[in-house]
Structure 1
Amino acid sequence: MRYLSKSILYIILLLVLLVIASCSSETNEESLFEDIKTNNPNDLFNADPSLNNFVITRWDESVVIVNPETGSEEIVYTFDDFIYPEGVANYYNGVIYVSTDDNAINAINPETKTLLWDVPMLEYDFSSLGFTSININDGICYASGSFGVMVAVDAISGELLWYYSSNINGELDNLLTENRIPIVHKDKVYLFSEIPFASSIPPYMHILDKNTGKLINKIELPYETTGEPVICNDIIYLPAKNMYAIDLNSLEVIWSFAADAVSTPQISADKIVFHGIPVDDTIYSRLYCLDVNTGTPSWIIETGFDTMWTPTIVNDVVFGVYEKASSFAFARNGRPFAVNLNDGSQIWYKEDISIDTSPVYANGRLFFHGHNITGTADIDENVGFFSMNASTGEILWLNNTFRYDYISTPIVVAQNGIFGPGYFQGN
C-alpha cells in the first residue's frame, strides 16, 4: 500500500511537471499575429522624437539617464551596495524621485548628480517587499512602503507631512500588508491594500483626505487588485480579478466584466482596453477592448500565455504584448505588437524581439529592455535597452550595457510631458 501511494504521488508529480513544461515552452502555441511589415509605413502619430529629452531607468544600485536618440547612458547617482531603486521613477521640477528597498523615498538632482534628500517611510527597513513607485501631485510625493505604511512627503524639502497605515486597525504592528501606488484625485487619495501575508484580512479601498491623510471611508473589496486602478470622469475602473466600473460619488458598481484576472486598464474616448485571463483559464491571456460605458466587448485578441501586461493607447493605436512564456520561473518573454483601437486589426508584430519590461511610448518611440533574438551571433550583444520606431516596430538602437543587470521599466522626460508605462502615475 505504501508503495502504491508513492507510485501515485510520482505519477501526479510527473504530470504536474509535464504541464509546467508545456506551459513554459516557446513553441507550443502558435502566434495569431504575423511578423509582417506594417500596414501603415508612414508615421502613425505625426510625432517629433526630438521632443524627448532623456530616459530614466535604473541599473543595479544606480539611477541612469539614457540619450533617447543615441542610446548612450550616464549614471546619475549610485546608492550604497545592496540598496536598489524600486518600481518606476518619477520626475518633477527638474528632480528625479525613486523609492528604494530600504523603505525610503529619494530625491536626486540629475544636473549635479547629488542626492538632495533621503526620507524613510517612517523607518528604514529591509525586512519585506511592498515598496511602490512614487506618485507626485501638486508638489507632494505619495508612496507606500513596508508594512502597509503610506506617506505624503514635500517634494522640495523632503518633510514628512502625514502618514497612514492600511493595517486593519491603522496600527504600525508589522503586519505584512502591501499597497498599490496611491492615486490622487481632486481632494482625495485612494489607496488599495492587498491581502496581508499569512492573514485572512480582506483587501480594502482606503479613501483619505489629500491634505491630512485622515481616513474618510474604507470599503472592503470582493477580490484583491490585479492591476493599478484608473480614475476617469469620476469613475474608478478597478481591476480586482474582474474589471469593475464604479461611480466615485455613490460607490455603486456601474458594470463589471468577469475574468480570472485583469491588468491596469487604459481608457480612450468610449473604449477601455486591458489584458486579462479569461474565466476558468489559468494558461492563456487576452487583450480586451470594451465599451467604457457598458462593459460590452468590442473586440478580443488572444495574447499567448497568462502573463498580464499593461497596454498603452496612443491616438487610435494600442501597444500590447504577446506572451510566449519561458522555461525560467517568473521570467517574461513577450513579443511587442500594435493594433488598431477601433477593430483590433494588426498594424505590426515583432516575433524576433523578446521584451521583459513594459514598452513606454514617447513621441513616436518605444523604449524597453529586451532581446533581439535574430541579432548577431553573440547573444550578449543582442540583449539590453532598446529604442523602437512606434509606427513600424523597427529597432533604432540597442544599448547592451544593460544586458544582464537589474533594470526597471523606464520613463521619458520630454518637452511635452513625462511618459511612462500604462500604470505610471505622472504627467
Structure 2
Amino acid sequence: MDYLFIFHANLHYSGLPQDKMEFVIRKGYDALLDLFIQKYPDCHFCFEASGFTIQKMAELAPDVLDRYKQAFADGTCEFMGSPFAHSMLANFPFEDGLKSLLFSMETYQKHLGFTPVSAWNPECSWTSRIPEMFSKAGFKNLITDWESFLISTRPEVRAVEYDPDRTRKDGHHMPFYPVDPDDPTLHFPLKVSSKITGLMRSGRVCNDVLWYLMGQDQEARNVNSAFSMDKALRAIEHWTGKKKDGCLLLYADDAEYVGTTGYFFLKYYNQWRLFEHSPESVERLDNLLNTVGNLGKIITVTEAINKYPALDNIEVRYEDGMAWHRTFSDAWKATPWAKELDPHCMEIHRKLISLEKTVNSPTERELLKTAWFHLICAENSDGRWPPPPHKPGQWNIDYCWDNVHKAEDIVKKLTK
C-alpha cells in the first residue's frame, strides 16, 4: 500500500491577519518542508497553493518559495494548483471559475517557472462542468471527495449520510455507513472525464489525522484531553484494507495545521485562538511519518496516478452542489456575507460577459482582463465563511468588497 499527504496552503484563510501571513509561511509551510527534507528525503508529498498564496510567498518569504521550488524540481514534493482566490467553484458561473484557474496558472508560470498537472478543488464543491473547467485550464489530475461520491451513487450510504438541509455547515452530526475498506474507488485512480483522472480523499481517515496533528480527541471534545497517535493509526490500518492494494490519501487538508493551530480551536472549541505557533504539530507529523513509512511508501498524486491504472468500469457521478464533509456548496452561499456579495458579483459577471462581445482594442481588452481578475478575487470564499455565530475576518470581508468596487469601476469605464 502506498500513502499520500496533501497539504493545502491558503493565505486567504478566514481570520488570518495580513501581518501574520509571513509567520504562517515560516512557522508552517517552511517547517513542513524542512521536516521532509531533513528526515524523510525518500518520502514524497504534495504541497498545494492558490495563485494568491504563491504570490504572497514570493512577496513575503521568497527564500521559502525558493526552497519549495527546489523540492518541486528534485521530486521531493509535487506542486498542486487551485483557483487564484480560493473560491467555491460550484457557487459561481463556469466562466468565473475557469478565469480563476487561468489566473493561477499565469501566477505559477511567473513565480515557479511551470504549471502543475494536479489540482485541488476548494472544499471539493461540485457541478457537472467541474472536470471540463479544470481540463480547459490545463490540469490532468483532480482530487475528488469520496463521501460525496458514495452519497451520490450508493443508495445504502445515502440513506444514512445524506442531509437534506443543504445549508448545514458540515455532516459531523451524522453516522458513517460501514463501507468496505477494500472498496477500489478509495484506493485507485478513476476517470472523472475523458481528460481528467481523479483520486479520492476521505474524511473517514483524513479527519482522524487532522485531529491527531492538533493533539485533540474528536469524541471527547475536551481541549485538555490527551490524544495519542493510536486512533489515527487505527483509522489508517482500517482504511488500508485487508488487501493492502493501491494507495490511500491519509491527509488532504489545511497546511496551516502543521506548525500553527490554524482555525482549529475557534472552529471546534469556540476559543479565539488563531494561527498560534504549534511546533508540537510538526513533532506529531514527524512521529506519524516515521510510523507510516514502515507500512508503505509515501508518494505524490502524479506518482500514484502513473503507477496505478484508473478504474475503467466505474461511473464517477456527483450530485450537483455537493461538497466535502457531507454538505453542500449552498452552505457557503447562505451566509449573510455571501448574500450581500453574491448579487454584486453576478451583476458584474453579466456585464463582463456582454463586454466580451464588444470590447476590441488592446487597451480595453487588458482592462477587461483586469476586471475579470477583480471579480474572481471578490468571489473568494474566505470573505463569506464561516457562518454565524462566527464571522469571517474583517480583512477577508474588506478584500472581497474592495475587489467588487474595483471591478465595478472598470465596468463603468468600459461601458461609457
Shorter-normalised TM range: under 0.3
* Structure with more contact order per residue of length (Cα contacts < 8 Å, sep ≥ 6): 2
Bigger proportion of residues as strand: 1
TM-score by length of 2: 0.28
- Which protein is richer in helix relative to its size? 2
